[in-house]
């Protein structure tokens, strides 16, 4: 998953701080200006954000930055950014690309680096103080963004450059940037007038507050649940899961106990292996009901308000609903196109899941099981079916997937494809001792950036896996090198023990590293167009394509080594893994697509009143014929992708990108060389290095030589 937090608010003035006129109350000094006026110059000078960062690569001096530094830094940076925007609007020279568009790209650099550090730490080192500060900072940034979005003088200059683009002798990248900037202004309400402007700004500020609250509720409700076990409760669990549960208990001062948390890497293996049905039910309900426990962290009312506000905002801009607004700026272009893809996959997925259900029921009958198949039973009995049909034990497989070997595997793949080298650095400041940092060098040995890896779950960290950055690549302000961060939530083992991971976790590791490479290999001039700053249904393509490499026999033989013996995975086990490659894909596709369908249904609503979240989920999925034993991969109340992140009406993008990645990886398979140099060069030239400088369909055809087809996707999921 690509994580775009409020860092995106500050990275590019051109696209994200787009246009606004001052409301009457804003004619007075803003909160930020008052605060800065009251602050002493010595306080500002002592704040790390206003000092030169004398660190390798100018990396954030994370050991020096304290929570108390953030609010003064945000306030000062906002004031600086306003002055930079004023200098653009007050420029007496006629508006042109350099004095307007490029100047906006350079504006807000201090705010960008403050935001980058703050929101990365909010996701990884959260506490009550940080959460309180985030609730204050998020609306502050939204107000600042709204002021600039509604700046009529600024928009007039942008519009003038856009009108004169035909005679301006712009290069292709500049033309692309200008089009994005202008369209972003329009999509951000710059053409609204009067009361509509005020309403639009008010909606944006409220949505910002609500999405922040949603994310914090999800984290806090997850923290509130722990399943504490005794030795006698561990029947069925492989040793790796027992060790992880013991380590989780030790971290919570529960010696001699075992703890299952709601992190996916903890709860999902428990559901898969535990013989204790009563405990599986308890764990499953805790996992499924995050944000839906009618407590202080309940998200249902927040969802209803967000959906209503998004619909109103889209209609203010002239769109029928939020989905139409979002997809008008995507590869899919329309909700109808996205829905067509989802339904093409949904029907064969349900059919395959029904077949899988029959296999499970046959096994249950053979074992004399009399209870009904429930959602907390599926993974457990599916694992038994997998073992019976393919002699495949997931616990045994995990013994071959050790974290350090998998990190080495992803670096090896990047070296073979793009000539990259990763040199671990211990002199780069980090925010937690578990974080590791590597200098990334190109084939000539020149440093191109830093890669941070934060792989372990902890109570201060939000769930899931994602890529983000402390700094994005650009050339406009000099040779600015990217600082890219990958996060996962693996179970931290006891001291001295190896970190074993499931095959699914290994795929996720490669996925997030694919995003990281998209950021590291970016080679563009303007920050707005750099790296992963592309639509959701394109941004997942480079990440999902990279996933394919870990599944290849050549890679498994080299890096899937037993954690005790260091022996490679046996050929017979490799073959069984290959044979079982599409097993349970009906289940996996249904739970994913169910979430995407509900996302689309929320955001195609035009009149939102009295939205009952539970009833809405049930209604939509019943109409589509979802099997009762399978729930959404992300139930609405913890569906951070769409209610706390940037995937609203865009969760389908993973499936859309899977068309591209499945078809795209076939380019290597057709060459009978997964590291074919010519194919890898096209992959670099048209995909990983281009950012948003080229039309996405043109980029894909440049890489593949033709348009994509769905054949490989259906084949890979066993749905053909």
What are the pLDDT digits (tens) for 341-355? 999 999 999 999 999
Q: Domain limits of the chain?
A: 7-191, 225-288, 403-531
Which residue is catalytic, options 147, 356, 512, 591?
A: 512
User: Cα–Cα–Cα angle for 691, 695, 698, nearest 5°?
Assistant: 110
Contact between 184 and 18 under an 8 Å Cβ cutoff? The reply is yes
Structure tokens at 700: 């894909």
* Sequence-ordered list of residues with C-beta below 8 angstroms from that of 305, at least 6 positions apart, any chain: 206, 210
359 to each of 363, 579, 630, 716, how far by Cα in Å?
Answer: 6, 17, 15, 21
- Check whether 26 has a pLDDT greater than 60: no
Confidence bin at 393 (pLDDT 50/70/90): confident
Q: Can you tell me the mean pLDDT for 518-542?
A: 96
Please tell me the distance from the alpha carbon of residue 84 to that of residue 77, in angstroms, as a whole number. 11
Q: What's the whole-number mean pLDDT along residues 61-65?
A: 96
Query: DSSP string spanning 396-456?
Result: HHHTT-BHHHHHHHHHHHHHHHH--EEEEESSS--SSTT-EEEEEE-TTS-EEEEEEEEEE
Checking if the pLDDT of 657 tops 90, the result is: yes
**Kind of pairing, strands 447-456 and 436-441?**
antiparallel
Classify residue 481 by burial, with Cβ atoms within 10 Å: 0-12, 13-18, 19+.
Answer: buried
Buried b (16+ CB within 10 A) or exposed e, 251-276: eeeeeebbbbbbbbbbbbbbbbbbeb
Q: Is the pTM of this model over 0.85?
A: yes
Give the per-residue pLDDT at 34.
53
- pLDDT for residue 197 is more than 50: yes
Contact 524, 690 (CB under 8 A): yes
pLDDT tens digits for range 598-654:
999 999 999 999 999 999 999 999 999 999 999 999 999 999 999 999 999 999 999
Give dist(CA 108, CA 352) in Å, integer.
51
Res 120 pLDDT > 70: yes
Tokens 């906002």 correspond to 78
For 125, the token pair is 């080192």
Residue 8 has pLDDT above 50, yes or no: no
pLDDT band at 392 (very low <50, low <70, confident <90, very high): confident
pLDDT of residue 6: 38
Q: Please give the structure tokens belonging to residue 680.
A: 């890898």
Structure tokens at 63: 């050991």
Long-range contacts of 82-86 (CB under 8 A, 24+ apart): 82/144, 82/147, 82/148, 84/13, 84/108, 85/13, 85/17, 85/148, 85/151, 85/154
Fold of 7-191: 1.10.1370
Report which listed range, 145-149, 259-263, 713-717, is most confident: 259-263
Order of all β-strands in the sheet with 421-425: 421-425, 436-441, 447-456, 483-490, 466-471
What is the C-alpha separation between 244 and 273, in angstroms, rounded? 14
CB 489 within 8 A of CB 471: no
What is the CB neighbour count within 10 angstroms for residue 557? Answer: 14
Predicted confidence band of residue 381 (pLDDT cuts 50, 70, 90): very high
Q: Which residue has the tokens 């049909």?
A: 389
**Alpha helix (H) ranges present in 58-193?**
67-89, 103-106, 109-124, 128-149, 152-163, 172-187
Average pLDDT, the chain: 92
Least confident of 36-45, 597-606, 667-676: 36-45
Helical packing angle, 67-89 and 31-38, nearest 10°: 120
pLDDT-derived band at 42, boundaries 50, 70, 90: low
pLDDT score at 1: 75
Confidence grade of residue 240 (pLDDT, cut at 50, 70, 90): confident
Radius of gyration of the chain (CA): 25
Active site residue 628: no
Cβ atoms of 509 and 410 within 8 Å: the answer is yes
Query: Residue holding tokens 């502050």?
Result: 140
Q: For 439-498, write each residue's pLDDT tens digit.
A: 999 999 999 999 999 999 998 999 899 999 999 999 999 999 999 999 999 999 888 899
Given this model, what pLDDT does residue 132 score? Answer: 95
CATH number at 403-531: 3.40.390.10
Is residue 229 classed as helix, strand or coil in its secondary structure? strand
């Amino acid at each position: 998953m690509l994580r775009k937090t409020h860092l995106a608010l500050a990275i590019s003035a051109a696209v994200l701080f787009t246009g606004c006129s001052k409301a009457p109350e804003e004619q007075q000094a803003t909160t930020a200006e008052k605060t800065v006026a009251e602050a002493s110059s010595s306080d500002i000078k002592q704040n790390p954000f206003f000092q030169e960062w004398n660190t390798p690569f100018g990396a954030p001096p994370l050991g020096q930055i304290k929570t108390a530094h953030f609010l003064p830094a945000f306030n000062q940076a906002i004031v600086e950014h306003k002055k930079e925007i004023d200098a653009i609007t007050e420029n007496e020279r006629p508006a042109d690309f350099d004095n307007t568009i490029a100047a906006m790209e350079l504006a807000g650099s201090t705010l960008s680096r403050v935001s980058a550090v703050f929101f990365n730490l909010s996701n990884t080192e959260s506490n009550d103080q940080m959460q309180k500060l985030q609730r204050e900072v998020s609306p502050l940034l939204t107000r600042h963004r709204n002021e600039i979005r509604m700046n009529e003088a600024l928009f007039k200059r942008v519009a003038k450059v856009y009108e004169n683009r035909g005679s301006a002798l712009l290069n292709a990248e500049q033309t692309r940037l200008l089009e994005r900037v202008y369209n972003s202004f329009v999509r951000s309400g710059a053409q609204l007038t009067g009361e509509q402007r005020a309403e639009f700004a008010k909606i944006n500020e409220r949505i910002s507050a609500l999405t922040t609250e949603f994310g914090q509720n999800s984290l806090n409700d997850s923290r509130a649940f722990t399943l504490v076990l005794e030795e006698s409760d561990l029947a069925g669990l492989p040793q790796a899961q027992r060790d992880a549960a013991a380590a989780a208990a030790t971290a919570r001062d529960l010696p001699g106990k075992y703890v299952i948390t709601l992190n996916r890497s903890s709860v999902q293996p428990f559901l898969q292996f535990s013989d204790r049905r009563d405990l599986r039910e308890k764990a499953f309900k805790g996992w499924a009901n995050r944000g839906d426990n009618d407590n202080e962290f309940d998200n249902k009312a927040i969802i209803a308000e967000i959906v209503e506000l998004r619909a109103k905002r889209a209609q203010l801009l002239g769109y029928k609903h939020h989905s139409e607004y979002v997809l008008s700026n995507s590869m899919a272009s329309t909700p109808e196109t996205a829905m067509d893809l989802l339904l093409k996959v949904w029907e064969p997925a349900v059919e395959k899941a029904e077949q899988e259900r029959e296999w499970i029921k046959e096994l249950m009958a053979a074992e004399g099981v009399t209870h009904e198949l429930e959602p907390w039973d599926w993974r457990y009995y599916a694992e038994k079916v997998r073992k019976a049909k393919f002699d495949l034990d997931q616990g045994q497989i995990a013994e071959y997937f050790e974290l350090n070997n998998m990190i080495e595997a992803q670096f090896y793949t990047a070296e073979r494809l793009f000539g990259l080298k990763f040199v671990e650095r211990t002199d780069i400041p980090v925010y937690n001792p578990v974080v590791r940092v590597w200098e990334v060098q190109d084939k000539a040995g020149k440093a191109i950036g830093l890669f941070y890896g934060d792989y372990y779950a902890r109570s201060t960290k939000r769930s899931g896996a994602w890529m983000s950055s402390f700094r994005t690549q650009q050339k406009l302000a000099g040779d600015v090198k990217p600082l890219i961060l990958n996060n996962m939530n693996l179970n931290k083992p006891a001291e001295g023990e190896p970190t074993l991971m499931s095959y699914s976790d290994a795929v996720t590791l490669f996925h997030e590293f694919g995003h990281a490479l998209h950021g590291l290999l970016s080679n563009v001039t303007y920050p707005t167009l750099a790296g992963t700053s592309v639509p959701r249904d394109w941004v997942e393509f480079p990440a999902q394509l990279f996933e394919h490499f870990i599944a290849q026999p050549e890679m498994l033989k080299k890096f899937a080594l037993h954690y005790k013996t260091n022996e490679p995975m046996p050929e017979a086990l490799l073959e069984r893994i290959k044979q079982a490659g599409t097993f349970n894909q009906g289940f996996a596709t249904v739970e994913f697509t169910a979430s995407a369908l509900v996302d689309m249904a929320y955001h195609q609503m035009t009149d939102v009143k009295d939205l009952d979240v539970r009833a809405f989920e049930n209604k939509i999925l019943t109409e589509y014929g979802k099997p009762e034993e399978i729930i959404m991969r992300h139930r609405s109340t913890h569906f951070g992708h769409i209610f706390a992140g940037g995937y609203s009406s865009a969760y389908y993008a993973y499936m859309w990108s899977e068309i591209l990645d499945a078809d795209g990886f076939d380019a290597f398979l057709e060459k009978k060389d997964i590291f074919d140099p010519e194919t890898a060069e096209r992959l670099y030239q048209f995909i990983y290095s281009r950012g948003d400088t080229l039309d996405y369909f043109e980029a894909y055809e440049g890489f593949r030589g033709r348009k994509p087809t769905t054949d490989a996707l259906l084949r890979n999921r066993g749905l053909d």
